[in-house]
């Protein structure tokens, strides 16, 4: 059910419009002036706002300007019994969807509301499509630290070759992004990059996923299936978390790499494939080899070039750039202007123990954008980030449990930051 906010200082007008709109099956909320409208708009989401112009405290034109900052995609329908053509034109220029004189014509009001909601739906659908398109594009590798600059230089040298690449590093550091840039800068860029998450596929299904299967190869094989090796023909196959692959699947991958040929599960025919393999893992494959869980010959086939992605804790100088990037990216997805982040908040973020690496940082920035005001402050970081960071450190948790309330905790952290900065 569509939700409409009626903003008018005249109670009789609000009551009349409410009765009309509720009869038409709309959910209706009311505000008595522009200030009340802004308060309700921060607490709720509306499909359309019906906004009077002449009101006390804050008139409709000023409220319209504020609405454009808070909820720019919400259509605003201006109404007034004292306005003229110039006022109507000014309202539309400032972002109003339409203008209707009081007393409003019922048919025109309902048609205009439907048109406004159609526009709102189109904006939402467009945002979703833009988000999908942006995700399909390869994002930039953000950072200027020595480790990141070395990775960029290695990609530039390795990508044009056909050398296999093994990307190592903890979870959340951006191994997939490195693999995608190797493909993006290679001669295979016009062909697909096909990803296989080896950790997410059961060991009994990984061979079928990689090499495909023939109809009737096993109980649920009701039709022939093309595997990832064939789908990536002419392009790149990205084997993510290869350290979790079963030994039997490793043997078949090794054979495919040696001979550039595969056989589907349940089939005898050998199929020629032209695939560049990039693998990634968060495990120490040397230790896995010693433990008998990974084939040493496969390791040497994959590790022609090794790119090690450092954890975020080793590249904290990149955090300001990463924060700026995620701030712009997330605010663009939400359809709002990027928020200002005070320098002290950046310093606070640099002091966090980032066990989840870049993935955790992005989630934290999204949390701060949602929960903070017009500016992200150091207090916001202390309030919304540090409790979870402290929980990961037994020593800090022990210290922080000494405080009886959040205000004492926040004061303690403020003093700690000041002491750290002065030293």
Average pLDDT of the chain?
A: 85
Paired residues of 280 in beta bridges: 167
Number of residues that this document lists for the chain: 423
Could you tell me which residue, 73 or 227, shows the higher pLDDT? 227
**Tens of pLDDT, residues 255-307:** 999 999 988 888 888 899 999 999 999 999 999 999 999 999 999 999 999 99
> What pLDDT, on a 0 to 100 scale, did the predictor assign at position 283?
95
Report yes or no: 11 and 5 within 8 Å, Cβ to Cβ: no
pTM assigned to the model: 0.64
Mean predicted confidence (pLDDT) in 233-248: 93
> What pLDDT, on a 0 to 100 scale, did the predictor assign at position 83?
62
Top-ranked range on mean pLDDT: pick from 25-34, 91-100, 168-177: 168-177
Report yes or no: 168 and 207 within 8 Å, Cβ to Cβ: no
Distance CA 346, CA 377 (A): 9
Q: Which tokens go with 314?
A: 């080793």
Domains of the chain: 3-129 (3.40.50.2300), 146-310 (3.40.50.300), 313-422 (1.10.8.60)
> What pLDDT, on a 0 to 100 scale, did the predictor assign at position 57?
83
- Tell me: pLDDT of 407 over 70: no
Mean predicted confidence (pLDDT) in 216-239: 87
Rg (CA), the chain: 29
Strands 98-101 and 165-168: unpaired
Paired residues of 375 in beta bridges: 340
Phi, psi of 77 (to 5 degrees): -105, 115
Mean predicted confidence (pLDDT) in 328-332: 91
Report yes or no: 169 and 282 within 8 Å, Cβ to Cβ: yes
**Tens of pLDDT, residues 74-84:** 889 888 877 67
Phi, psi of 5 (to 5 degrees): -105, 120
Rounded to 10 degrees, what is the CA torsion of 78, 81, 86, 87?
A: -40
Report yes or no: 232 and 194 within 8 Å, Cβ to Cβ: yes
**Tens of pLDDT, residues 386-400:** 755 544 455 554 555
């Amino acid at each position: 059910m569509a939700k409409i906010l009626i903003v008018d200082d005249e109670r009789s007008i609000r009551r009349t419009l409410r009765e009309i709109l509720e009869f038409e099956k709309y959910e209706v909320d009311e505000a008595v002036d522009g200030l009340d409208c802004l308060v309700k708009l921060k607490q709720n989401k509306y499909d359309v706002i019906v906004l009077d112009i002449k009101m006390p405290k804050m008139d409709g034109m000023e409220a319209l300007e504020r609405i454009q900052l808070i909820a720019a995609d919400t259509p605003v329908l201006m109404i007034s019994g004292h306005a003229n053509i110039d006022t109507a034109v000014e309202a539309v220029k400032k972002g109003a969807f339409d203008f209707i004189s009081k007393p409003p014509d019922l048919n025109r009001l309902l048609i205009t509301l439907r048109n406004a909601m159609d526009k709102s739906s189109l904006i939402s659908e467009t945002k979703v499509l833009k988000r999908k398109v942006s995700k399909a594009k390869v994002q930039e590798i953000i950072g200027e630290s020595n480790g990141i600059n070395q990775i960029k230089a290695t990609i530039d040298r390795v990508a044009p070759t056909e050398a296999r690449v093994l990307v190592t590093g903890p979870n959340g550091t951006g191994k997939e992004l490195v693999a995608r840039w190797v493909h993006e800068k290679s001669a295979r860029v016009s062909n697909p990059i096909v990803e296989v998450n080896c950790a997410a596929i059961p060991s009994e299904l990984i061979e079928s996923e990689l090499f495909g299967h023939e109809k009737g190869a096993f109980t649920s094989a009701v039709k022939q299936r093309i595997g990832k090796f064939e789908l990536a023909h002419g392009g790149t196959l990205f084997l993510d978390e290869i350290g979790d692959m079963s030994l039997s699947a490793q043997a078949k991958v090794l054979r495919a790499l040696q001979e550039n040929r595969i056989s589907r599960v349940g089939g005898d025919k050998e199929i020629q494939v032209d695939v560049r393999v990039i693998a990634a893992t968060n495990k120490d494959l040397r230790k896995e080899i010693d433990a008998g869980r990974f084939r040493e010959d496969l390791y040497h086939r994959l590790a022609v070039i090794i790119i090690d992605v450092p954890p975020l804790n080793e590249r904290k100088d990149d955090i300001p750039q990463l924060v700026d990037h995620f701030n712009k990216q997330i605010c663009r997805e939400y359809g709002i202007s990027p928020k200002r982040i005070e320098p002290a908040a950046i310093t606070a973020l640099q002091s966090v123990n980032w066990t989840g690496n870049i993935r955790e940082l992005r989630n934290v920035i999204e949390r701060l954008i949602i929960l903070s005001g017009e500016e992200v402050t150091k207090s916001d970081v202390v309030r919304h980030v540090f409790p979870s960071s402290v929980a990961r450190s037994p020593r800090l948790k022990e210290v922080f449990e000494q405080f009886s309330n959040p205000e004492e905790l926040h004061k303690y952290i403020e003093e700690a930051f000041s002491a750290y900065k002065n030293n």
